[in-house]
Structure 1
Amino acid sequence: MRKQLMAAVLIPLGLGLAGVASAQSSTPAFQNNASEAQRKAGNNQATAELFYMIQQLQSDVRRLQGRVEEQQHEIGRLQQQGRDRYVDLDQRILDLSKALAEQKSAPPAGSGSVAAGASGKPVAARDYRAPEPKEQQAYNEIIDLIRNKKDYDTAITRLYEFVDQYPEGDLTVNAYYWLGEVYLAKPQLEQAKQAFTIVATRYADHRKAADAVYKLGVTLDRLGEKEDARKRMQAVVDNYPDSGAAELARKFLGAS
């Protein structure tokens, strides 16, 4: 009877201990599976973040390439615009030369006072169109760009636009003169020479003519055309003797 009782106690106890041992033996396998899942999840997250970073970099590269292409296009446009303006100014000089050649064979028209140009030949005085308020404002803004802001490239663009929009006015002559001044300051001497030539020949009776002839002489001197420079300076002295430009021309002639 005692043996039966002992067996009844020991058998369940043994089964319980076996269950505990079995549970303990299965715990490491579960933990290993959980760790592996976490590691894979971490790898997936890192891969996703790396992919996102690559996409961002590719997007940045495309955006930068787009900006470079836009800048290259803008540079090309500005270069072409500059060439077109240079050709346009050349054409204006050619047209002016033809007009002067025609004037040589025609009798002078009008009855106003007479001024001598850079060539020393009489030029009939004329009345220049007075500027409108909007025109005066546009001109003042250009002068501010030149004198105060020193933004010469923008000023050149605005000066060309000005002479196209407001032709044959009093301020138009000033605009041509300042175009020469800006080109002289950059310096782009050939363009400055052309701009001053327009004022000196086409607008020889204008108040800016004396200054234009003098600055034309300065430009020619910088270009190495010494003899032509002296001729222009002498023309200032002979044709505009009472002007401030004449005083400067005399100093130039005395020093050279």
Structure 2
Amino acid sequence: MTASSSALSAPRRALAAAALAALLGLGPAGAAAQAGDGQDPEARGLADLVRDIQRIKDENRELRGEIETLERQLQQLQRRQREHYKDLDSRLQELRAQGAAPEGGAASGGEQAAGQQAGEIPIPELSAAEGGGDASPEQASEQALYERAFGQLNAGDYAQARAGLERLLERYPEGEYADNARYWIAETYYAESRLDEAAEHFQRVLEASPDSGKAPDAQLKLGYIAFKRGELETARQRLERVREQYPESTAAGLAEERLTQLRQTRENE
């Protein structure tokens, strides 16, 4: 064997050793041992490459663990949102069935206490991150109107809540709470079983703010209304639209549940 061929074989041996170490999952120490004396620059480069590959594998493994944790947290959050939405819907229906909503005037102290005992309806719009913190005087005025109307809605005083929300829209048609005000006006009609007015106002939510956070809920309630009316095909189309257009929303999960009820209803016909 000549000197030149011997010199050429060293890098090849180092390359083979590094490749073998990578395939066998050896750590950096194993790669260096396989590379021989480690003095050859090419061998050292290959050993560094093996170390980089191992480091990347370790980082990917950690990232996968973090992603799985975030996915679990997201699923828990969606489940809690779904439970909040169901609770709100059921409480509005209970108040309607019990006749707890007065035709006018402020809610009685007993009704307010009952509303507090049932638990406050969450108002995420009032968080500091979304404008409920250091508000300007104009925002504070709009926020005050919204809070007052929402408190009346929570107490079952739908007529007063609706009047307050309409007043808010008159003053701040493009305000921070305009989308929510339109939606809750529709909800007051829905809670009173005034389905024609409710459907009209839920449709307004979709037309005025198709990309707002309340759009999935408005589309869902239009499906509910069609279901209540016995318009099963229209209900199916509405509910499937929620599932297709807003697949990651809480409303999508509720739409799927109502679609299951719809299928059962059709099977029993």
**TM-score band, normalised by shorter chain:** 0.3 to 0.5
RCO comparison, higher one (Cα < 8 Å, 6+): 1
Using structure 1 for the length normalisation, give the TM-score: 0.47
Using structure 2 for the length normalisation, give the TM-score: 0.45
